[in-house]
Structures are given as structure tokens and as C-alpha cells.
Chains A and B, each alone.
Chain A
């Protein structure tokens, strides 16, 4: 058996959209290898989220257990291993979210598997898969081969189309035998970053601010709101405490690919560009005409962001 298992994610009982992109990658792999597609969902009280995984031609494995409620890798990794073995999976993947990057390497180690992180595309021929992935902050794209019998990967959601509709797929409950008392990890608290705005990685428009905002994100946020978009930030702005961690776009933050990305007061360091260069249209607003951001921007405006952003927001509102 050489099947494909995608580990889906939910948060608070809601399926994460990124998982449907990972499932899309799973469909491609199943088509390439001729294997069957399986998808697993782990958590507690996840029946509704599990229903969202039906209809993609995959067998759905639902592992519902109180010890899986907080996404602890220590608890979840053995369950992923159990499901992978049960369904004969030789390709085990997930979305390259923080949760996927936490869990999948631990599961890979338990499976004795090599792993490719943040896969951008699939190379090779037929069932011999090569994984294309970024290295050196996206300066380089490597084609890697994994030689262990089981191969583990995470995919960058923006690089794979969401799963196409398919057969309903059987739903199976997984018998989870976790000894909760033996776990040596406990979730103590979760401070949710609440936002009325769309999720950064799913927004049609992202407006990001950098050090050039000097700590005043009001103009950035107002433009994002006028456009119904999400707000992002450079590392410099997050490090300074002007924006939550969760807003960081880049090599080590979120990777976004919206229809429109506006970079305001951001110089365009390679580590930032790595997280937004897949955007369809990039606008840069920067006072420095030599700023490297202009090398990747479709439209550049050499000006003060505090003048440009409010004026642009006005134009947007006036056009409604």
C-alpha cells in the first residue's frame, strides 16, 4: 500500500482553510502515485469540522479525545503515526502553518521519515516525487528527494489550489488511547488575537506597515479597513511592539499572496519579500526612492505614507 494522508487542522472546532489547500496537494499526490487519499482531523468536539472534510474523495479519520483539545504535539504525534500506519500512508503531509510545523516533524521522527517543509510544488515523474521548497529565505528553490519509505511534508497553502470536490468518502472514528496523565506538556493559556478583519493569509488585500510608520499604524489600519483587507507588518514593526507577532509577513512570519499587497514604510529586505512576493499586485509607498521594495513593486510611490494612505483610503471610499 502506498497511500496519502493529509493531517487537517481545526481551531475552536472550525476547520482551517489552509487544510483544504493541503488536501489539494494530497489530491495531486494521490493522482501521481495511484494511492488512496486519507485525511485526519485531531481535536476534541470536532464533528462539525470533520464534516467539512467530506466530499473531497478522501477517507476521513476523526480522532476526538480531550487530550487532543489543545494541539499538543506530544499528544498528537503518536496519533498521526497510528493513523498513518492504519491507512498505509507513505506520504504524510499538512499545511505549513505554525501547528503543522510543530506537529509534523515530531510525527516524522516517530515514523523514521525524512521531511520537506513549506513545499511549493511537486517535481519528478509519476510516483517518484521530488519536493520543491524554498531555502535561504526564498533566494533559492531546491528540488529534494526523500529516500525513507515514508515521506513527510508541509505545503505552503498559497502555492496549492484548494481540494476539488470528489466522492463523499467514508468517515471513521479513530480509537485514541492517550494516557493524559502521562503527558508532560500542558496548555496553560491561549491569548487569541481577536480581529474583525479577514485572516492575513486568506485576505484579498493586505496592507502592511514597517518601521516607517514610527509606531503609528492608524493610517495602515484605516486603509486596510477601507479595502476590507487584513493588516500585516514587517519584523521591525513587530519587534518594536507596534504590531502583534501574528501580523509579521516574511521568511519567518506569514506567507501571503493576496490580490493586492500594499507595503508602507517597509524597505523590502529579502526576508520580508519572501513572504509577499507571490502577491498578484504589489504597491510600495516609501520616502526613499532607492528602497529595494521598489524592485518588486508593480506600482511604487515615493512619498510619505502618512499622506498617501489616507488619500488612497478616501479615493477608495469615494468610489463606492
Chain B
């Protein structure tokens, strides 16, 4: 059974970039900051591609944002996604708005599976997938992982961690829960959000990048989708957290022990 998968590819600040807050607390300094696809979304795109390789079907990549968001959609197309949808919207978002817009896209596209990163590393909210599942009335499996490590044979063979049953009616997802790994079976269509250990995303190949230029990237105006675009979670101010002061270097274990015992009194 071929699968139709909708996957997200949000544009975020590169995790390697230094993030600083503007002196007036109104936002972050964007000078010198690089942008890339949310690392969790990269894992979601990789999983979608592996599922398509295993079952056939189509991978549609979607994102919400301004013109620059095209870059990350093209990056997903270069990895191998079939086509892209950009919901054009400038301005702040929250999970209510994002999930409402993605639900509209899901209503139009009718995927069997919506794959999202478990959180995006800018606002670190970890909400969009769960909100989307609730809005659509679909089951959810959050924090998808796998039992095998990223150095395992299963990973080297690029097998999908999400196991879709023959017939395409359900999927099994190993997820990171408190105190262990839980395996869920969800009926499709379902929302799955992915964690770090699900897979190692591939790099786009040169031919992949060339091909991506010709793949379809459709734009939808957010305002045309009949969704309330005013976020309800409003950032009032930003600040840098108090910094920990670096301490001292000690010469050896004896001195370390003394410090911990006599000065910090922690041992």
C-alpha cells in the first residue's frame, strides 16, 4: 500500500549560531545568525523518505512562513521529498495558529501520516504535532525513536523506525517515554512527532539539489484558509538568563576532593 506522508520543514536559527537578545528585549539579534531546517524536522523528512522507499507513495513537505522559508522547503525537496507547500504568513505564530493551518493543509492533501519534529529549536514549545492531532481527531505518537541505536545495522540499512503494517491501516511507533521505551500502535491517519534517535538524516546529493529546483513548490496565502491568524501565546519580552560564573581549575584529584569536601561541602 503506497503511503502519502505530509512532513514539516520549519526554518529556524542554526543551533550552532550564537543567540543573543537585543538590548531592549524585543527580539534576538539576527546579524550573523545562520538559518537551516529545524533538526527535528530533518529527522522527520528522513523518516518520510525511508517510508516511501519501503512502501511507495508520496512525500509532501509543508511549512508556514515568509519567502525565505522556501529555502528549507527546497532543502527537503533536495533530500528527496516530492513536492512542497508553503503557507505564506509573516508574523508571529503559536501552536494554535500553526495547527489550524496545518489541519487545513491535511484536509486538502489527506495524508495517511503527518510527520513533524517533536519541537522546533527556536521556541522549544513541543506542541504543534499534539495540537494538530487533536484538531484532526487523529491518534498521536509523540517522540518517535527506535530500540536500535544510531550505530546499529537497522540504521545502516536505512530502515524506517516507524513500522507501517501491510495494508497501511496502522503503524507501530517506539517512543521515548518517562522511564523507558513505549511501543504504540496507531490507526492511520495519525500524527507522529519524531525525536533525535529515530534516524540520521541524509545529506542532499548534488543531483538531488538540481532536481529540487524543478519540483513543485506551491504557495497558499494563510489568509485564504479561513483560520484565525492572531496568536494567543504572545512573547512580551526576552532576556538572557543569568550566566553561571566559571570557577577554578584544580590541579589534581586531591585538590578536587578538598574543594568538594571543604569548600563546596557537597561531599
User: Do B177 and A137 touch (CB < 8 A)?
Assistant: no
User: Do A146 and B257 touch (CB < 8 A)?
Assistant: no
B123 interfacial by beta-carbon distance below 8 Å: yes
User: Do B184 and A300 touch (CB < 8 A)?
Assistant: no
Q: How far is the CA of A285 from the CA of B182 in the complex (A)?
A: 34
Q: Known contacts A185-B139, A240-B149, A260-B266: does B249 contact A191 (CB below 8 Å)?
A: no
User: Do B232 and A97 touch (CB < 8 A)?
Assistant: no
User: Do B249 and A135 touch (CB < 8 A)?
Assistant: no
Q: Known contacts A239-B150, A260-B260: does B248 contact A300 (CB below 8 Å)?
A: yes
Partner of A283, one of B124, B186, B256: B256
> How many residues of chain B are within 8 Å of chain A by beta carbon?
83
List residues of chain A with CB within 8 A of the CB of B85: none
User: Do A316 and B139 touch (CB < 8 A)?
Assistant: no
Chain A interface: which size bin? Answer: 35 or more
User: Do A299 and B256 touch (CB < 8 A)?
Assistant: yes
B157 interfacial by beta-carbon distance below 8 Å: no
Partner of A184, one of B186, B249, B253: B186
List residues of chain A with CB within 8 A of the CB of B19: 136-137, 139-140
B133 interfacial by beta-carbon distance below 8 Å: yes
User: Do A241 and B150 touch (CB < 8 A)?
Assistant: yes
Q: Known contacts A16-B178, A141-B238: does B133 contact A106 (CB below 8 Å)?
A: yes
Q: Which chain A residues (277-320) contact chain B, with CB distance < 8 Å?
A: 277, 280-283, 289, 294-303, 308, 311-312, 315-316, 319
User: Do B267 and A190 touch (CB < 8 A)?
Assistant: no
User: Do B178 and A298 touch (CB < 8 A)?
Assistant: no
User: Do B127 and A105 touch (CB < 8 A)?
Assistant: yes
A143 interfacial by beta-carbon distance below 8 Å: yes
User: Do A191 and B184 touch (CB < 8 A)?
Assistant: no
User: Do B250 and A137 touch (CB < 8 A)?
Assistant: no
User: Do A300 and B249 touch (CB < 8 A)?
Assistant: yes
User: Do A312 and B256 touch (CB < 8 A)?
Assistant: yes
Distance to closest chain B CB from A308 (angstroms): 6
User: Do A281 and B149 touch (CB < 8 A)?
Assistant: no
Residues of A in contact with B (beta carbons under 8 Å apart): 9, 11, 16, 70-74, 77, 97-99, 101-102, 105-110, 112-118, 130, 134-148, 183-193, 227, 235, 238-241, 245-246, 251-252, 259-260, 270-271, 277, 280-283, 289, 294-303, 308, 311-312, 315-316, 319
Question: Which are the 3 A-B pairs with shortest beta-carbon distances?
Answer: A241-B149, A109-B134, A105-B130
